[in-house]
Structure 1
Amino acid sequence: MAEQKKINPMLKMALELGPIVLFFLAYTRLRDRTFDIGGQAYDGFIVATALFIPLIVVTTLILWKLTGHLSKMQIATVVLVVVFGGLSVWLNDDRFFKMKPTMIYTLFAGVLGYGLLRGQSYLRFVMEEMMPLQHEGWMILTRRLALFFAGLAVLNEIIWRTMSTDAWVNFKTFGLTIAIFAFFMAQGKVIQTYSIPEDADRT
């Protein structure tokens, strides 16, 4: 496996979050407009989605080129964006793209849950280099994250099915990002309790 290259953290954040921010900006500018393309009328949400798909593919490829590495979560996210976003554009139906976070978080919760049933933390494989923890710490964190992802999947379903598109876009752009950040901030006690000192021998 090729060694992962280090890049500027701000550049990495821009590549990861940039497409989401640009989708939000595109939607806010286009939401009240309708576009006639090939004899078919598309609203601003669908057009913003059509712009978002290639953008996230390109930024992910740039990230892979610069780091030599993509996590399985990043790959799964791009695939689901292309599939569900593509269906929304192709069928001119925004429901598919709105379902995408549900599919992503259900997938993540399922994968983490499957690992837990086998007595393993798949989260450890993704984050161990950034945050070395004892096995018990990884298991606790993985259980919590699996439940958190399952909760996000349910919440996304509730919001897109019961609220306006504006509310869903705000939730997707800001709510999900803040929720994930807040979750990891809340795990400080577990991380502190089960962290492995840098100079400790690792097996």
Structure 2
Amino acid sequence: MRDHILEEDPNSPARKEMNPLLKFALELGPLLVFFFANSRGDQLAEAFPVLHELGGPLFIATGLFMAAMAISLSVSWAITRSLPIMPLVSGAVVLVFGTLTLWLQDETFIKMKPTIVNALFGAVLLGGLAFGKSLLGYVFDQAFKLDAEGWRKMTLRWGLFFLFLAVLNEVVWRNFSTDAWVAFKVWGTMPITIVFMLTQIPLLKRHALEPKVADAGKS
């Protein structure tokens, strides 16, 4: 019987690897569902009348987003027999704020979700550093192999970046239309994140662990 429902420590031999591209697709997929459902909410409601019960396009998108997050976590569990920590936290917040959005028919709650998630991630990463834990290794260990100092620096930078995204989401949803916010959530946040990741390449190179030589005697 498994002792751990949550994913194992980054360097644990019991940790089951997942294809990085699949992991990325599982994390990005629910966002794409949310964007598509918001932009095609009326057509979806016509094709599936039961969706009318949820409300307008944003509420339909919220319901489908929650379903997509549940599917994403289920696939992760089916493959690795564990739940990834950060998507699990995000999914829990989506469940709470999505339910409030649909129940009260108030779009404010789903708009606040990215603020809460990013602020929570930032606080968790920075809080982990305060206790000597570089938690970012749980997210990126399958893509990068860094020394302890590299993970510490990356965790600090990502913690601050998540707090920046939280503030940015507040600025956008409070000052722009719902459609503009949805477009920014999918097509704005991702490019900003990619640019940030590109700026971390020098750090990754400096702190990358050298691959082990399997057969030192081979020429």
Q: Offset at 1:59?
A: 2.4
1:124 has 2:137 as partner = yes
Q: CA separation in 2, counterparts of 1:56 and 1:172?
A: 16
1:23 has 2:21 as partner = no
Instruction: Please show how residues 54-203 of structure 1 align to structure 2 within 5 Å.
Output: 54-199=67-212
Q: CA separation in 2, counterparts of 1:118 and 1:169?
A: 36
Seen in structure 2, the aligned counterparts of structure 1 residues 98 and 26 have a Cα distance that, compared at 3 Å, is: same
Residue-by-residue CA offset, 1:50-77 (whole Å, 9 max, x unaligned): 1221122122202221232332101101
Residue-by-residue CA offset, 1:99-125 (whole Å, 9 max, x unaligned): 001111111110111122223312134
Q: What is the RMSD computed on CA atoms of the aligned residues?
A: 2.6
Q: CA separation in 1, counterparts of 2:72 and 2:133?
A: 31
Q: Could you tell me whether the CA contact under 8 Å between 1:98 and 1:160 is conserved in 2?
A: yes
TM-score normalised by structure 1 residue count: 0.86
Gaps of 5+ in 1: none
Q: Could you tell me whether the CA contact under 8 Å between 1:16 and 1:60 is conserved in 2?
A: no
**Which residue in 1 is equivalent to 2:62?**
49
Seen in structure 2, the aligned counterparts of structure 1 residues 43 and 32 have a Cα distance that, compared at 3 Å, is: farther
TM-score normalised by structure 2 residue count: 0.80
Aligned length: 198
Q: Could you tell me whether the CA contact under 8 Å between 2:98 and 2:110 is conserved in 1?
A: yes
Q: Supply the AA of the counterpart residue of 1:4.
A: K
Q: CA separation in 1, counterparts of 2:63 and 2:84?
A: 24
Q: Supply the AA of the counterpart residue of 2:97.
A: F
Q: Offset at 1:199?
A: 1.2
Seen in structure 2, the aligned counterparts of structure 1 residues 121 and 168 have a Cα distance that, compared at 3 Å, is: same
Q: Could you tell me whether the CA contact under 8 Å between 2:27 and 2:87 is conserved in 1?
A: no
Seen in structure 2, the aligned counterparts of structure 1 residues 187 and 91 have a Cα distance that, compared at 3 Å, is: same
Q: Supply the AA of the counterpart residue of 1:116.
A: L
Q: CA separation in 1, counterparts of 2:129 and 2:137?
A: 11
Q: CA separation in 1, counterparts of 2:138 and 2:17?
A: 17
Q: Offset at 1:178?
A: 1.8
Give the secondary structure class of the aligned counterpart of 2:55: strand
**Which residue in 2 is equivalent to 1:4?**
16
Seen in structure 2, the aligned counterparts of structure 1 residues 41 and 72 have a Cα distance that, compared at 3 Å, is: closer
Q: Supply the AA of the counterpart residue of 1:187.
A: Q
Q: Could you tell me whether the CA contact under 8 Å between 1:34 and 1:42 is conserved in 2?
A: no
Q: Could you tell me whether the CA contact under 8 Å between 1:27 and 1:45 is conserved in 2?
A: yes
Seen in structure 2, the aligned counterparts of structure 1 residues 93 and 179 have a Cα distance that, compared at 3 Å, is: same
